[in-house]
Each structure stands twice: as C-alpha cells, then as structure tokens.
C-alpha cells in the first residue's frame, strides 16, 4: 500500500485486516510446504494457572492456528506447578519433533521465574522471539525469530508504506517485550530513535518532535493531542481495561484516541490495531521455524 496524504481525522492503521492477510499468506505457504506424509507445523502454548485473561489469549491463539493449518499442542499446568515441573514440560516440548514453536503465556504465577523458563526454550522454537539468542540476532541484524509485538508494528507500518527511513521515532516504554526490540527494529529501518520512559523529563516535548510515536507503557490514555506533532504516525501498543462511570468496563490504549486522531496522520485503534498483529507474527514465527526445520529455507 502506498502512503497517502493524511486527512483529518487520522487514517486508521487496520491491524485486524492485515492480520487476516498474513494468515491467508501463511495458510497458502503451509499448503505449499506440506506434501504426502509431511506433518503440519506445530505450536505449543504453555499456560500455568487459570488467569481468565490468559485463557482468552490462549484460546484466540489456538483458533488462529486452526485457520492457518498449525497444529496446537497447548499445555495447561495448575497454578501450584513448580519451577521444575514447568521446566520439565518445556524440555519435553523442545524434544518433540511435532512442535516448531513454544510460547510461555505471561504473566506466570509469582513463585515462578519467567526469565529462566523462557531461556530454557530451544531458541529455534522460540515463537515469541524473546530468547537471548534471538534478541542477540536482532541486535546484530541477523535473520532469526523476532519479538511478536514489535514485528507486528513494523509489518503494519510497512503495509501502509510508512517506512522509518529518515524519520524521527519515539518509543515510549523500554520493556524487553516491546520497547527495546522495537527500538532496534526502527533503527534497522533507518529511523532516528529515542526511547522514552517513566524517568524522561517533559515527555510531551520529546514526543512532539516525533514523526513516529509508539506507546508501549501500560498507562491508560497517557498520550494526548497536545503531545503529538500534526500528521504524525501514532502506534498504540497499550491495552488497558478501565472502569466506566456508568458501570462496566472498556479497553483503551496508552493513547487518548479521540483527541489524538484529530491531530495525527495515521493511528492504530485499540482494540483492532497492534493486538491482531501480535498473534499474526506468532503464527509467522511458527511457520518460519517449521520451514527451517523441514529444510525449506526462509519463507520470505
């Protein structure tokens, strides 16, 4: 898609539509790779406990797998599972030839060491792109599995012709899950990148100079219209559940969508923006690993 002159209100960056397009391409690719006697790609999502939000996320991932032709090998352990028990499950999945991708659903119960468990995943099956080896490949600009949410952001920008080359980008948030890997990806796309965070003085002044703003901090509607340069590209990674005055709740991002959409050139909605792309990149990572393991080479 070629970039267009922005009009008011901002043009929507439709992650839901692009995710459907990615799933279609992946499904076609899986059919091309598979032949008589060739197994389908496999993804194992490891969940510990009965967190309702996590259960919904896992179910959504399994449904998405079915649409692409990926076999699900989901495993749920009780909240009382020990570090050794979860590690043993991951080790079994590492050795299971039917499994190409492994994801540990976060958050984990507080008694478990999530970092150690992620590091125990075979890097070649690291569907979430969070293993230190894969993060190191990203840092070095080498091919490999990429963190799903940052990769989804980059795919969404590329779909709309919004390349980073020569642009100034501000990433608000410095997590290992989103902020840091996304900053590296934007640098790789030749953007000039600033990473802002809770200790950044005058956050509004930093954001106002950006051509690309990515909010990934987990604070509802933190970024408002007066903080955004007219015509800027605004990507909202945040997803926060807030209580409504009239009762009930709603999902909102880290960006005040209503006000910022009147100023920005392009903006992602919440929901329907980055969220679907995260799942699409999880599937893409799994199929990429599948192709590598079968000797089919890179899929793109």
Annotated binding site for NADP(+): 173-175, 239
Among residues 114, 122, 228, the alpha carbon closest in space to that of 170 is found at 228
- Of the candidates 14, 61, 125, 211, the residue annotated as catalytic is 61
- Of the candidates 14, 100, 105, 236, the residue annotated as catalytic is 105
Known binding-site residues equal 173-175, 239
Give one DSSP letter per residue of 23-47, joined into a string: HHHHHHHHHHH--TTPPPPEEEEEE
What DSSP state is assigned to residue 227? G
**Residues in a beta bridge with 168:** 192
- Of the candidates 14, 100, 126, 128, the residue annotated as catalytic is 128
Establish how many alpha carbons lie within 13 A of residue 295's alpha carbon, considering only the half-sphere containing its beta carbon: 1
Structure tokens at 202: 């005058």
Check if 61 is active-site. yes
Check if 105 is active-site. yes
Give one DSSP letter per residue of 71-116, joined into a string: EE--EEE-TT--HHHHHHHHHHHHH-TT-SEEEEPSSPPTTS-HHH
Pairing of strands 71-72, 11-12: unpaired
Instruction: Name the residues annotated as catalytic.
Output: 61, 105, 128
């Amino acid at each position: 898609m070629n970039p267009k002159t922005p009009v008011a209100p901002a043009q929507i960056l439709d992650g839901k539509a692009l995710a459907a397009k990615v799933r279609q391409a992946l499904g076609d690719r899986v059919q091309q790779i598979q032949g008589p006697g060739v197994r389908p790609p496999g993804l194992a999502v490891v969940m510990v406990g009965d967190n309702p939000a996590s259960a919904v996320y896992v179910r959504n991932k399994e449904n998405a797998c079915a649409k692409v032709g990926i076999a699900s090998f989901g495993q749920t352990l009780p909240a009382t599972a020990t570090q050794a028990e979860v590690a043993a499950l991951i080790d079994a999945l590492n050795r299971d030839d039917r499994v190409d991708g492994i994801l540990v659903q976060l958050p984990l119960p507080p008694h478990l060491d999530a970092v150690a468990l992620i590091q125990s995943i075979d890097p070649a099956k690291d569907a979430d792109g969070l293993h230190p080896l894969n993060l190191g490949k990203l840092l070095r600009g080498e091919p490999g599995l990429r963190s799903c949410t940052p990769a989804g952001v980059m795919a969404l920008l590329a779909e709309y012709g919004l390349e980073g080359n020569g642009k100034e980008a501000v990433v608000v948030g410095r997590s290992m899950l989103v902020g840091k890997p996304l900053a590296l990806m934007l640098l790789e796309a030749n953007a000039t990148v600033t990473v802002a965070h809770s200790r950044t003085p005058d956050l509004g002044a930093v954001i106002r100079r950006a051509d690309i703003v990515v909010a990934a901090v987990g604070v509802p509607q933190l970024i408002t219209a007066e903080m955004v340069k007219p015509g800027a590209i605004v990507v909202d990674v945040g997803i926060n559940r807030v209580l409504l005055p009239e009762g009930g709740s709603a999902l909102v991002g880290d960006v005040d969508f209503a006000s910022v959409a009147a100023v920005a050139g392009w903006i992602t909605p919440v929901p329907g923006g980055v969220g679907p792309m995260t799942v699409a990149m999880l599937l893409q990572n799994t199929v990429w690993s599948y192709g590598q393991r079968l000797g089919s080479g890179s899929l793109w």
